[in-house]
Amino acid sequence: MNVTLVSFPRIPAIRTLQPEGSTGTSGNSHVGAYVSDLVVTLPAVPDTAFDASSGSVAPRPAQLAFDDLDTPLYDTTFVVVDLETTGTSPERDAITEIGAVKVRGGEVLGEFATLVDPGCAIPPQVVHITGITTAMVMEAPRIDAVLPGFLEFAAGSVLVAHNARFDTGFLKAAAARCAAAWPAFQVLCTVQLARRILARDEAPTVRLSALAQLLGASTRPTHRALDDARATVDVLHALIERVGNQGVHSLTELVDYLPEVSRRQRSKRFLAADLPGAPGVYLFRGPSEEVLYIGTAVHLRRRVRSYFTGSETRTRMREMVALATRVDHVRCAHGLEAGVRELRLLVAHTPPYNRRSKFPKRAWWLTLTAEPFPRFAITRTPTWDALGPFGSRNDAAEIAATVAEYCGVRTCTTRIPRHGRHGADCPPAAVGGCPAGTTGELRDAADYASAPRSVRELFTGGGDAVLRVIRDRIETYSAAEHFEAAARLRDRLTAVVRALRRTQRLAAVARLAELIAARPDGSGGWEFAVIRYGRLAAAGTAARGVSPMAVVESLVASAETVIPAMLDAGAPSTHRPSARIAGDPGDGLPQRRSECDGSSGDLIPASRPGSPGIVGDFERSHASQGMPAETLELPLTPASDATDLLADPRYPPLRGASPEETALIARWLEQPGTRIVRTTDGYHEPRLGAGHWLRWLERAEAAARTEFAANDYLAHT
């Protein structure tokens, strides 16, 4: 038997240099940065080998390159990083500490650790968790001074983190704020790796502290960045050892191992071969030509191809792909058309693998009953003064309880005749009693009429007196230091404002007979949408150099005819005269008329203080881009109609349009850069509607989030 002996010279150990006086350990007072100087000498490998059978030196057999074998895990450089932050939002919060360990082949090559000045006070609940106080970071460097050093330390390596989405999200946000390019790191998440490798019986939780104890990590996590990074290194090595006997020896094999992609799933990649690289809707079809799943994409071929690779981890989707035999598509002009077509196809086909297609028409509305003493009813069919839609009946019931309490709407179920009186059977001012009977006095229909009238004014934007009463009650509780009661009422008012805003925002779009909007496509052209009564009637684009108005007129001529649903089919439909809005002179769009032709009365710009509207957002977004704000004024609205335009008794709030489709259109209109080309009426929300309360709503939601900040922080670290 021939034996070939190969002799390799010993490779010297990699040396890690640390600052003088450093102990290399982490504590609560650890400040500073460890930067590794890697000194590696690789001797040349001999090109020949000794043949024991012949006693001669023979040429070395050819060896496969790493490109053929993929990068072995023992030769892959990992930088394991952990962050401490002031909260859980990369947009609102900041980094307070960075810790990273560079490893390759099981050896530590270097460490990087530093405190970071977040530029703000560290919340008490975060101090309690991490031990990092505002005083500790006052003399620390800012992130713009730290980030370049970290990126240099991690260059060319695979970034590893426990819950990598959290850490990389903060690092990317910091890079964006520092105007620094974010390198194309390959990222590995030890949470995802642990869930794939460890059975749930063995590891009920994948928190870092639990995994470190389970897998015997030498470092205990302490919610300090370097300690947690060191613990994550031990967890990573232990998990890699678990998969070594399953044929996972390279980085590519480890990445492919994570999503558990079957060979059958990969074999169906050909289904995406003929799809275009354009926006549209795709439909997976089964063996009997039934539609299994419907989705949208800005790049059809790339999106559908992802279902056959490791990026698709949903069990339901893998099951759907196994059944699919064909992928159909509908090419669309832009993302809005794709989203609308998806919604309509979901209603038409109700595919089994789309979660939201199970009950596409299920929605609840809060209305007043048609009786002499109206009370709230929760129904599927909206009336002209209804509030909704709600996703669940319980949500509608909670809003009804709050509004009834402060508007004085009765909650008793007794039927009262027209000439009867309310209060005879209702307990006076007791807990759980009827809100309309708090005084204990008998009330006829005329006395009671103010209650439903205040509800209609609230729902349709005619007045916000009820909201101000609730806000004053919150302030009274706070002044009396009844903070728990104030917080509960704040959350109830928040829910009411959200519901009002949703209805009024959608009704503002649905009431317009026609609205034509344009958005820049990012390449010098335009995306157009023709919207009629809350539905998308036509969509198109105008490439750079093409006259946009010619495209607009063509779309209008070929647009779908939309007839709004009416509560009284015999009532005639009238529309206001046309008003136009345009952008800058010379962009090809028509210039805005200074007034609404044919209208009478005092004209009030809808952008005036206290009258928020979507086009007001357009004005702010364009002004931030250097465009003159005065060229983007809102349509003018007669003062006499300012509070009643959204409350026409002939129509339901959305004129029969799908709430999902109208909401999708409203979101598209709110995007920065969107301009109104033409509309049959002023596009605005009611002056005294919920839009006036958005700033209060933001503050209330921020206050509600703070009490959960500690739990969220623990859940994401």
Taking alpha carbons only, the member of 239, 236, 220, 218 closest to residue 228 is 220
Question: Which helix (DSSP H) or strand (DSSP E) does residue 94 occupy?
Answer: none
Is the separation of the CB atoms in 123 and 159 below 8 Å?
A: no
Is the separation of the CB atoms in 391 and 334 below 8 Å?
A: no
Which tokens sit at 526?
A: 């335009």
Give me the sheet containing 186-189, strands edge to edge: 107-115, 95-104, 77-85, 158-161, 186-189
Give, as one character, the DSSP assignment of residue 360: T
Report angle CA 630, 636, 639 to the nearest 5 degrees: 135
Q: In whole angstroms, what is the distance from residue 284 CA to residue 39 CA? A: 55
Query: Within 10 A of 191 (CB to CB), how many other CB atoms are there?
Result: 18
Is the separation of the CB atoms in 470 and 645 below 8 Å?
A: no
**Can you tell me whether residue 291 is helix, strand or coil?**
strand
**Can you tell me whether residue 460 is helix, strand or coil?**
helix
Which tokens sit at 399?
A: 């809003």
Q: In whole angstroms, what is the distance from residue 654 CA to residue 395 CA? A: 20
Residue-by-residue DSSP string for 165-192: HHHHHHHHHHHHHTT-PPP--EEEEHHH
Q: In whole angstroms, what is the distance from residue 314 CA to residue 304 CA? A: 14
Q: Which of 162, 223, 329, 684 is catalytic?
A: 223
Q: In whole angstroms, what is the distance from residue 46 CA to residue 242 CA? A: 35
**Can you tell me whether residue 103 is helix, strand or coil?**
strand
**Can you tell me whether residue 441 is helix, strand or coil?**
coil
Pairing of strands 158-161, 186-189: parallel
Query: Within 10 A of 421 (CB to CB), how many other CB atoms are there?
Result: 15
Residue 333 has φ and ψ, to the nearest 5°, of -70, -40
Q: In whole angstroms, what is the distance from residue 219 CA to residue 203 CA? A: 19
Output Rg (C-alpha) for the chain, integer angstroms: 32
Tell me the residue ranges of DSSP E strands in 74-166: 77-85, 95-104, 107-115, 158-161
Position 418, amino acid:
R
Mark whether 223 is an active-site residue.
Answer: yes
* CA 571 distance to own-chain centroid: 42
Separation of first and last alpha carbons in the chain: 58
Give, as one character, the DSSP assignment of residue 336: H
Residue 527 has φ and ψ, to the nearest 5°, of -105, 135
Q: In whole angstroms, what is the distance from residue 639 CA to residue 647 CA? A: 15
Which tokens sit at 228?
A: 């947690």
Kindly report the length of the chain.
Answer: 717
Q: In whole angstroms, what is the distance from residue 568 CA to residue 574 CA? A: 14
**80 bridge partner residues:** 101, 160
Which residues belong to the active site?
223
